[in-house]
Structure 1
Amino acid sequence: MKADLHVHSSYSDSSLTMKEVFQEAKRNGVTHLSFVDHDTVAGLAEAKRLEKEYDVTAIPGIEISAYDFERDRKVHILGYNYDQHARHITRLCTPLFERRHEHTLWQIEQIKRAGYRFHVERVLEAAKPSTTIYKQHVMAQLTDAAYDSNTYQTLYRKLFKGEGPAAGDIIYIDAFDAVEAIVADGGLPVVAHPGQLDSYELIPELVEVGLAGIELHHPDHTELDRDKVEALAESFGLFMTGGTDHHGSFGSKIEIGAVLSPFNPLFR
């Protein structure tokens, strides 16, 4: 078994289609994938169709953009093995998906007013099949520089951070609501990359509403992060997952399958 349980596709903010992800996964010997596209389950039907073509198991997944309002920080909640209709998840996430799209359109207007030439129609077309535009789609229209390059990161900070013309964010979903929606749809909620977003303090509280797991292996996790995750998993009876957080050229360069998940209930 070789499982990468944290990959994205062009249904959200990856440069790669699902088919392209499956092709790379197959080349790299990956046996299990989970597409955890942000705040949408729109790609599930395609993933289940492609798993038969490539003989790579697709575990239903999502990454919900949530918030810890008590501590005023973002927290991402992964959801796995929910039922195919995902009614509670969809009801919760659809308004967020729409808010993100409207916010990005506003950001585009601010960037244009700041003097950048921009063709909205091109970014809308390039974002498909996603019905929401992400900042990565905007950046792709402004620069050919690699995501990890100084050129890309400098422009990104200039536009979207601090006093940048497109700075600001949307209101995210309460982390407790995210966990409860996944549970209501028969799924298993997992805190994503707690080391990246410093989500550790929230984990015991989320256990009370049904949290089932924590992401152990992630490109941003240090040895200290892994020690913390393992200790929390043991204390609260949580399983552990892992993956590359792959976004194609819209993220850091990493091969699908380079970061793997430990064995857990998702494979039974």
Structure 2
Amino acid sequence: MAADLHCHTKLSDGSVAIDELVILAKNKGIPTIAVTDHDTFAGATRAKIFGQRHGVEVIHGAEISTFDYQRKRLVHLLCYMCEHPARLEGLFGKILANRRKAVSIALQKVMRLYPITPEMVAKRAQGSTAIYKQHIMQTLVDAGYADKMYGPLYDKLFNWKIGIAKTNIEYPDVFEVLEQIHDAGGVAVLAHPAVYDTYALLPELAEKGLDGVEVYYPRARQDDLEVLGAIAEAYDLVITGGTDFHGGSTSSVHPIGTCLTLDEQLLKLKKRKAALLQKQGAV
């Protein structure tokens, strides 16, 4: 048995509700999942309770948006099993506030070209902690300006190099966030290193106490697996796997359970959490 430790719901930029996610996992025979919505623990209690009802272990987590200011790279840290989640709420609040400012600017740019309204986008984002570009694209599809979320219009507006509505979001320093995760009694895993090319950062994070690295994810190539596996072994990092599941809200749809964490690695991650608490005098 194994665990999918990277799943998103409607609370951020996913397309399925928490209960739907749990049922999907149950139907696929996946005994353990982690809900890792962007910059929020919202829904953690409900997810755990719903999982218990259906025989699925739900690990509460979050995918935290950070930045490596030395290398000018966006970095996503997966936080799991946070003992004191309230200690990260201030961090999440700042990130989401910055995201809302940036999305407001992006939406203004889009509305100059296409007559949609903020209310239309807000309706699409109902239940989410913030508006994401996926919600804007869904609104444009609803209005008939595109026939699918990802295609020429998405590239025109949001391509990370040339998108005319692309806006930069101010994110916290990755090393500061790593420290905050540990101070809150959580464990930290570097998400999908190849996506934002964070390989050079990984050894430095490991030296600062990073607990693990996401080795198995849909966009990882064979050479990625070999390089990451070697780094994980050298620094005694937990090797995790996760689908980065978003439902239909990604350019390439991957079913839940596409990439998994082995049982022995999940146990190792839980032991890291226990050791952290013991060090902090919590147990």
Taking structure 2 as the reference length, the TM-score comes to 0.88
- Report whether the alignment pairs 1:217 with 2:212: no
Match of 1:118? Answer: 116
Q: Which residue of 2 aligns with 1:253?
A: 253
- For 1:100, the aligned partner's letter is R
Pick from 139, 154, 178 the counterpart of residue 141 of structure 1: 139
* Residues 68, 175 of structure 1: 8 Å contact kept: yes
Counterpart of 1:159 in structure 2 is: 157
Mapped to 1, the partners of 2:123 and 2:179 lie a distance apart of 34
1:128, distance to aligned residue in structure 2 (A): 2.4
Measured in 2, the distance between the counterparts of 1:226 and 1:163 equals 30
Instruction: Evaluate the alpha carbon distance shift between residue 248 and residue 158 of structure 1 in structure 2; reply closer, same or farther with a 3 A threshold.
Output: same
Identity between Structure 1 and Structure 2 (%): 39
Q: In 2 relative to 1, CA 228–45 (structure 1 residues): closer, same or farther, beyond 3 Å?
A: same
Distance apart, 1:169 and its partner CA? 1.4
How far 1:89 moved relative to its partner? 2.1
Partner residue, 1:99:
98
Q: Contact 1:2 / 1:29 at 8 angstroms: preserved in 2?
A: no
Cα offset, 1:50, TM superposition = 1.1
Following the alignment from structure 1 to structure 2, what is the Cα–Cα distance between the partners of residues 194 and 33? 20
CA distance, structure 2, for counterparts of residue 234 and residue 164 of structure 1: 39
Could you list the per-position Cα deviations for residues 194-231 of structure 1 after superposition, in whole angstroms to 9, with x for gaps in the alignment? 12211111112112332000001000000111111111
Q: Retained in 2: the 8 A contact 1:89–1:178? A: no
What is the match of residue 200 of structure 1? 199
Opposite residue 51 of structure 2, the aligned amino acid is E
1:58 correspondence with 2:25: no
Instruction: Quote the Cα distance in structure 2 between the aligned partners of 1:126 and 1:249.
Output: 14
Q: Check whether the contact 2:218–2:258 (CA below 8 A) recurs between aligned residues.
A: no
Q: Deviations over 1:119-139 (max 9, x none)?
A: 321321321221310000000
> CA separation in 2, counterparts of 1:199 and 1:165?
26
Q: Displacement of 1:60 after TM fit?
A: 1.5
In the alignment, the residues of structure 2 paired with residue 30 and residue 146 of structure 1 have an alpha-carbon distance, to the nearest angstrom, of 30
**Cα distance in 2, alignment partners of residues 76 and 93 from structure 1:** 13
Give 3-state SS (helix, strand or coil) of 2:195's partner.
helix
TM-score, with length taken from structure 1: 0.93
Q: Deviations over 1:227-247 (max 9, x none)?
A: 111111111111111111111
In the TM superposition, residue 8 of structure 1 has moved relative to its aligned partner by 0.3
- In structure 2, relative to structure 1, the CA distance for the partners of 1:212 and 1:257 (3 Å cut) is same
Shift of 1:87: 2.8
Partner in structure 2 of residue 18 of structure 1: 18
Instruction: Give the SS at the match of 1:196.
Output: coil
Counterpart residue number, 1:108 = 107
* Letter in structure 1 aligned against 2:152: T
Partner of 2:186: 187
Query: How far apart, in 2, do the equivalents of 1:100 and 1:66 lie?
Result: 12
The worse-fitting range, judged by mean Cα deviation, of 1-10 and 125-134 is 125-134
1:244 equivalent to 2:243? Answer yes
Aligned to 1:36: 36
Structure 1 runs not aligned, ≥5 long: none
| Whole-Å separation in 2 of the counterparts to 1:53 and 1:36 | 20
Q: Is the 8 A contact 2:4 2:260 kept in 1?
A: yes
Structure 2: unaligned runs, 5 residues or longer: 272-283
What secondary structure, in the 3-state scheme, does the structure 2 residue paired with 1:98 have?
helix
- Cα–Cα, structure 1 residues 35 and 112, in superposed 2: closer, same or farther, change >3 Å? same
| Pair 101,180 (structure 1): closer, same or farther in 2 beyond 3 Å | same
Provide the C-alpha distance between the structure 2 equivalents of 1:237 and 1:16, rounded to a whole number of angstroms.
35
The separation in 2 between residues aligned to 1:181 and 1:262, in whole angstroms, is 27
1:93 alignment partner, SS class: helix
1:109 partner amino acid = Q
Shift of 1:183: 0.6
Pairwise CA distance, 1:44: 0.9
Alignment of 1:226-245 (within 5 A): 226-245=225-244
**Would you say the 8 A contact 2:41–2:61 is kept in 1?**
yes
1:6-26 superposed Cα distances (whole Å, 9 cap, x missing partner) = 110011000111111111111
1:21 is aligned with what amino acid?
L
